[in-house]
Structure 1
Amino acid sequence: MHDPFDDDILQAHVDDVWATNGPLALEAADDPFERLVTSIVNQQLSVASARTIRNRLFETCDITPQALLQAEPERLRNCGLSRQKTEYVRNVAEAFLQHEWTRASFADLNDEMVIDALTDIRGVGIWTAKMFLMFALGRPDVFPVEDLGIRNGMTTLYGESDRSRMREIADSWRPRRSLASLYLWRAAG
């Protein structure tokens, strides 16, 4: 059985999801760079649009810093990336090469330090950095209130509230806010 959340509303939703689909789990990605590129592709797009562009990009290019820097920008744009996202992907590739980042590079950094390092890259904002913490590094206590799906899930379960109130509610989920977020995305539909 799962460890319960000390929140009756969230726990009831978790129990429903478990009964229907089994448990949700958060795992670190095999390749942090690839996961960061995925987050950039996903920025401000519908799930379906992002999936289509991501699939084209991953079929067309090796998703490594070297390969994305060597690819002609037009080739990346032909996958569906805008000029701006093409620049952002290349900026991330340059940063990974310059800093020689690997998963181990981030292991001793707390969440805020990782966010600070990543948001120094043009094209990586707080949302993207939090997605990296959750899905690239598997950090357990991230609450990405910047995400529309998270806010929609909060509204579905708790009613209308502002981001500040959502953060207050999420505080009771520490140190497992990342897992709670997976269930919020399910609540959003």
Structure 2
Amino acid sequence: MEPLRTDPVLAEVIDTYGPLSLEPTDDPFVQLVVSIIEQQLSTASANAIRERVFARFEIAPEVLIDVDATELNDLGVSHRKIEYIQDAAQAFMENDFTRDSFEEMTDQEVIEKLTTIHGVGVWTAKMFLMFSLGREDVFPLEDLGIRNGMIKLYGECTRKEMIEVAEQWRPYRSIAALYIWQYYEDTPIKD
């Protein structure tokens, strides 16, 4: 991961946190459900809802497609996200999506397939690439934590400038994102 250390700002963050890595999940559908639950929520809220849902249901397309919406809503899942989860379940069943089928696709192909699912945008697809498939070269600029973390590390910069900074991290932009998230979560906002 030498490209990450050529950036002196990121190298300092790496020294602070030590090795971080991505571990692909065994079940890509589970990770997609996690990403849907996490959309536009604080980490604490998303974790609480996820724990309740995972404790109550088996997270599998054939199960969640038929779950009564009221049951999920009672666990804190919004009506809109229930639709998204059930649409994802249907897409996984209809397309026979598996870890192996995704492994054969490029990052862009995965994004294109997933974003046909109602409620799955580019952010969710990139989280899927990183945390379900373990892809190491995804730059999730759509994520507010990444943008705010980069501003904390590099000062005020535009999205275009953030992309330019991230180019030097290839082919480990996902790993760089892990460090940026960690730094952002651990560093208090200065007045």
| TM-score normalised over the length of structure 2 | 0.94
* Correspondence for 2:151 among 150, 155, 166: 155
Given that 2:26 and 2:132 are in contact with CA atoms closer than 8 Å, whether structure 1 keeps it comes out as yes
Where do 5+ consecutive residues of structure 1 fail to align?
none
* Correspondence for 1:131 among 114, 127, 132: 127
* Correspondence for 1:50 among 46, 49, 73: 46
Residue-by-residue CA offset, 1:126-163 (whole Å, 9 max, x unaligned): 00000000000000100001101111110111011111
Residue-by-residue CA offset, 1:9-65 (whole Å, 9 max, x unaligned): 1111111112xxxx1111101211000000000000000000011011101111000
Q: Identical aligned pairs, as a percentage?
A: 51
Structural mapping, 1:34-183, within 5 Å? 34-183=30-179
Given that 2:24 and 2:132 are in contact with CA atoms closer than 8 Å, whether structure 1 keeps it comes out as yes
Deviation of 1:71 after TM superposition, in Å, equals: 1.1
1:8 equivalent in structure 2 = 8
SS in 2 for 1:138: coil
Deviation of 1:6 after TM superposition, in Å, equals: 1.6
**Whole-Å separation in 1 of the counterparts to 2:116 and 2:26:** 23
**Whole-Å separation in 1 of the counterparts to 2:148 and 2:158:** 11
Structure 1 runs, 4 residues or longer, greater than 4 Å off: none
Given that 2:26 and 2:99 are in contact with CA atoms closer than 8 Å, whether structure 1 keeps it comes out as no
**Whole-Å separation in 1 of the counterparts to 2:122 and 2:30:** 18
User: 1:32 corresponds to which letter in structure 2?
Assistant: P
User: 1:185 corresponds to which letter in structure 2?
Assistant: W
User: 1:101 corresponds to which letter in structure 2?
Assistant: F
| TM-score normalised over the length of structure 1 | 0.95
